[in-house]
Amino acid sequence: MHEDAQLPLLASGRRLTRADALDRLATLVGVDLRPLADRYGVTVWRDGRRNKGWAGMVVERYLGLAANGTQAPDFGDWELKVVPLALAADGRLRLKETMAVTMFTAADLESREFEESHLLAKLGRIVVVARVYEGPEEARSVVQAVAGFDLTDADRAQVRADYEEARWMVRTQGAWALDGRVGRLVQPRPKGAGHGSGGMGFYAKKALVTRMLGIGA
């Protein structure tokens, strides 16, 4: 690993181009993220509870971006995501989870066209970093792959169809009609602190994320 691996490539993470980020992230393949969490002061465990987003925060810091709650692509025109891979019964690494993309409200959904949605803004131009999940201890987690991905025309059409389906359900049956069974590539699911918070988020289903990573099904 580089001597200055903890330093941001640019003064402002937001100006980091995707090409530069991919170059820099390439040096992270094969690297254990866990020691970096300590180096960056990213909490992994707190009072016996896990910071589920620790790996994502570590990679953000690696690229020089501070944690923030802005509902926009992390680096201006492209989005960074970190996803876990886990060893399957057949001995191969597979995507462990769906990927949370962005939150939305019923009002957002009804008023915003797909082309103007946060969903497309984040999914359209993305960089996915895959890490190996070894166990709940998170004693070690090595970066397995890094991939830049632009939504293909076909995927984009299906994602739009999923978005329109969710809109249609909200308009005709109300927000409560939405659940994870809606959508083929992206799905609306409850998300947010506490139960019944009413928050919803769009999640990229495994098939889409797997395609982004360019790994077998």
Partner DNA sequence: CTATGATCATCC
Partner DNA sequence: GGATGATCATAG
CB nearer DNA, residue 3 or residue 180: 180
User: What is the nearest approach in angstroms of DNA to the Cβ of residue 1?
Assistant: 19
- Rounded CA-CA distance 21/13 in Å is 10
- Cα 29 from Cα 116, distance rounded (Å): 34
Closest distance to DNA from the beta carbon of 34 (Å)? 13
Smallest distance from DNA to CB 85, Å: 9
Instruction: Choose between 1 and 45: whose C-beta lies nearer to DNA.
Output: 45
Binding site for DNA (CB under 7 A): 43, 46-47, 49-53, 55-57, 59-60, 66-71, 74, 79-84, 88-89, 94, 96-100, 102-105, 118, 129, 131, 133, 136, 179-181, 187, 189-199, 201, 203, 205-206
- 26 or 67: CB nearest DNA: 67
Q: Which is nearer to DNA, 74 or 155 (CB)?
A: 74
Half-sphere exposure of 203 (CA within 13 A, CB side): 20
Orientation angle between helical segments 18-26 and 54-62, nearest 10 degrees: 110
CA atoms within 13 A on the CB side of 213: 28
Q: For DNA, which is the closer residue by CB, 30 or 41?
A: 41
198: left (phi over 0), alpha (psi -120 to 50) or beta: left
User: Running DSSP on this structure, what letter comes out for residue 175?
Assistant: G
Query: Measured from the CB of residue 23, what is the shortest distance to DNA in angstroms?
Result: 18
Q: Please, which residues have CB within 8 angstroms of residue 138's CB and are 6 or more apart in sequence? A: 34, 44, 50, 54
Shortest gap between Cβ of 75 and DNA (angstroms)? 10
